[in-house]
Amino acid sequence: MKKFTKLKSIVVPIDRPNVDTDALIPKQFLKSIKRTGFGPNLFDEWRYLDHGSPDQDNTLRPLNPDFALNQERYQNAGILLARENFGCGSSREHAPWALFDYGIKALLAPSFADIFFSNSCKNGLLPIALPADIIDQLFTEVTECPGYELNIDLEQLTVGTPSGQVISFDFDAGLRDRLLKGMDDISVSLEHADLIKNHEEEKRKIAPWLFN
């Protein structure tokens, strides 16, 4: 997993509450566990005008010109601005995989579904919860200013706007440390590799038949 320390990027707004994981990556695309290749189907049903299917050539599909991801001003966005309860619905880990594969590295919203929040942090995606009035302000600024960028600093726990405003946010210390170090669940387990090895050696002495 890549480390997350600082990010300066264009912001893309998705101005809908309760965006669920089926909207993020529809169920027909959940046939792989490779973590990559899901970006072209992020928001598939909103992004395209036809029905998407696995192994389809997305470059030939008609785009929905009204959807933010298809608009020129939001191309190469690495930050997604959303409304409350983002990531609700099923617990599919493919949702943060699709966002990350598309190029989104951070999310700003008033609130996130709990499992989606956890899955995001485990996959290097930073979900930042901000007060609703701040989110309203950012939506206004993003839509009024093409090329709008934010500066996110996870070390300092701040979001900086183009006007110089600095917005502080809270984040769980343990999750913050994991993101800063780029550690997924396996990496965390491997920090205790010596203890695991010692446990297995003791177990081998007590129950050697388990290792045959």
* pLDDT tens sequence across 136-157: 999 999 999 999 999 999 999 9
Query: Looking at the 3D structure of the chain, how many domains does it have?
Result: 2
Q: Is residue 42 part of a domain?
A: yes
* Structure letter (DSSP) for residue 146: T
Are residues 29 and 82 located together in one domain of the fold?
yes
Are residues 147 and 207 located together in one domain of the fold?
no
Antiparallel, parallel or unpaired: β 6-14 and 149-153: antiparallel
Are residues 157 and 200 located together in one domain of the fold?
no
Q: Is residue 198 part of a domain?
A: yes
Phi, psi of 146 (to 5 degrees): -60, 140
Residue type, 78: G
Q: Is residue 1 part of a domain?
A: no
* pLDDT tens sequence across 4-32: 999 999 999 999 999 999 999 999 999 88
H-assigned helices in the chain = 21-24, 44-47, 94-102, 114-122, 132-144, 173-181, 185-190, 193-206
Are residues 88 and 146 located together in one domain of the fold?
yes
Are residues 174 and 196 located together in one domain of the fold?
no
Are residues 74 and 22 located together in one domain of the fold?
yes
Are residues 175 and 193 located together in one domain of the fold?
no
Are residues 145 and 189 located together in one domain of the fold?
no
pLDDT, position 189: 63
Supply the CATH number for residue 30's domain. Answer: 3.20.19.10
> Whole-model pTM?
0.88
Domain that holds residue 209: 185-212
Are residues 12 and 90 located together in one domain of the fold?
yes
Are residues 61 and 163 located together in one domain of the fold?
yes
Are residues 103 and 74 located together in one domain of the fold?
yes
Are residues 144 and 211 located together in one domain of the fold?
no
- Both tokens assigned to 105: 């590295």
**Rounded to an integer, what distance in angstroms lies between the CA atom of residue 103 and that of residue 105?**
6
> Is residue 104 a contact partner of residue 40, using CB atoms and an 8 Å limit?
no
* pLDDT tens sequence across 68-114: 999 999 999 999 999 999 999 999 999 999 999 999 999 999 999 99
> Is residue 181 a contact partner of residue 156, using CB atoms and an 8 Å limit?
no
